[in-house]
Amino acid sequence: MNALEATVAAQRSTSIKHKPSRLFFILFPAVSMLLGWGLRGFIGGGPYGAMIPGAMVMIAICMLLDVPLLFAAIAVVFGTAGTAMGGEMTYGQTIGFLRDTDTVWWGFTGTSVKGGVWGLSSGLFIGLGLVHERIKVKTIITGFLIFLIGFVIGLKLINDPKIIYFSDPFNQPRKESWAGLLFASAGLLIYLRTKITAMDFRIILHFVWYGLLGGALGFGFGSLWITVGAKYGARLLVVDWWKMMEFSFGFLLGGFLGFAAWKCRNINAGTYPKMETKISKSFFIELIAALFIGVFIYVVMQLFESYLETINGRNGIFYASIATTGRVLTSYLFIGCMLILIALCWPYLGFQIAVTLTFCHCMIDLVTDDRLFPGLQSLPLFFIITTVPSFIVSVLVALFQRKPFVLQSMFLILVWSTTAVAVIRMIAGGEFIFNSQHSLSQVIIGDLFVFNVFIISAILVSGMVVKNKAIGVREVV
């Protein structure tokens, strides 16, 4: 082999040029989740909106831990779905307690508990995603069944009878599910302890404990911004205290998960195969499969949920059992498990689930907001405006997962497509029409606060990815 051939071979091979520092391990997921969590509360609520921070932080962790492409495509779905499951919990009324000095500590307790449960479940699925290739699919399926059974037990023992209730019992009381998610996660964790190796369980446990701590601190202390805003908001330039809460929650949870990844950097080293398998399915099949998944999630499941609402409240054991079963089947806990199983069967759909489906919900949330686009509620316009951009993102995902630096490309596609939707929402909502009486500092720091955080965070994480292309795996070609 001559010098030229050796140079080309070196460029085409997979190698790690450097190991990221501990600070980078913490900051990259922290800023990624700060951005993702802020976007989640702005362009997509509920569990589907929580797919945004889940996908961002999991792709970041896969890059940091050098997870090979084929396994990363599946692991990303674990992290995306696991983080999104926490979006099933209601917390609007819990945060309302923080505005009143008489109930602020009860509200703080509620957000800390719910944040801890959210971080625990996120960490559980992130850790499970990182070791999934060493676990039998049968074991994972059984674990998911235990997970869903635990969810029902927690609902019936604590949430439904309101034994510990963090919402308002007198003013439109909400159905809480934090205990259901806690019991579900505990059941899955206990089952995995009996079925997987000590090393793999240790990895999962790292993410569980640090996720629990980061979630409790992030949501608990982050929610106190609501109290600060209620008491001192008129004196300060910052006007969006809810976003301050979300940014704080995302930053702390992401940072703790990043630290867990750093703790696992050597435990998981060398456990993946040396050679990489590229995405091999046809471009057309991938796009069609992604379309069918989108239709099932956003059309079929929504129609099924609407049907269940028509029989909700009917008396009798039969209807009560149907209501409970329906509540589980339409919850994101069940849907997330199904998405993970799809990725396990067809890894080439992993990035379509984590990136394209996530973006698609952002478009649905944007168009269905009749306060912004009252003229776009007709079915033909709704279909066109949601599917065309989603199809473009789907094509980009399919194209770039067949090129080098796949994880970096998926991350950038998700970051900038969702940020673009956020900017469109800002323009449509008139957030760039400033009060003429505001000073320049009030405009920049106050009126443009959310926009500035979105853009600066997106640029920061993009710079981290572009500058550090050595992190993450480039597939062997």
Q: Is 264 left (phi over 0), alpha (psi -120 to 50) or beta?
A: alpha
355, 415 contact by CB (below 8 A): no
Name the residue ranges covered by the structural domains of the chain. Answer: 22-467
Q: State both tokens at 399.
A: 């194209």
Residues 142-174 have pLDDT tens digits of: 999 999 999 999 999 999 999 999 998 888 889
Hey, how many other C-beta atoms are within 10 angstroms of the C-beta on 444?
Answer: 14
Residues 97-141 have pLDDT tens digits of: 999 888 999 999 999 999 999 999 999 999 999 999 999 999 999
For residue 441, give the amino acid letter. S
d(CA 465, CA 192): 33
88, 331 contact by CB (below 8 A): yes
134, 199 contact by CB (below 8 A): no
Cα angle value 39/44/47 (rounded, 5°): 110
Residues 310-357 have pLDDT tens digits of: 766 666 676 677 777 888 888 999 999 999 999 999 999 999 999 999
Q: List CB contacts of 2: < 8 A, sequence separation 6 or more.
A: none
Residues 453-466 have pLDDT tens digits of: 999 999 999 999 98
Q: Supply the pTM of this predicted model.
A: 0.91
Residues 200-250 have pLDDT tens digits of: 999 999 999 999 999 999 999 999 999 988 887 666 666 788 999 999 999
461, 32 contact by CB (below 8 A): yes
227 to 37, 95, 120, 242, 322: CA distances (angstroms): 20, 9, 25, 10, 41
Q: 234 burial class (0-12, 13-18, 19+ CB within 10 angstroms)?
A: exposed
Mean confidence (pLDDT) of the chain? 87
Q: State both tokens at 130.
A: 């990182």
d(CA 55, CA 353): 10
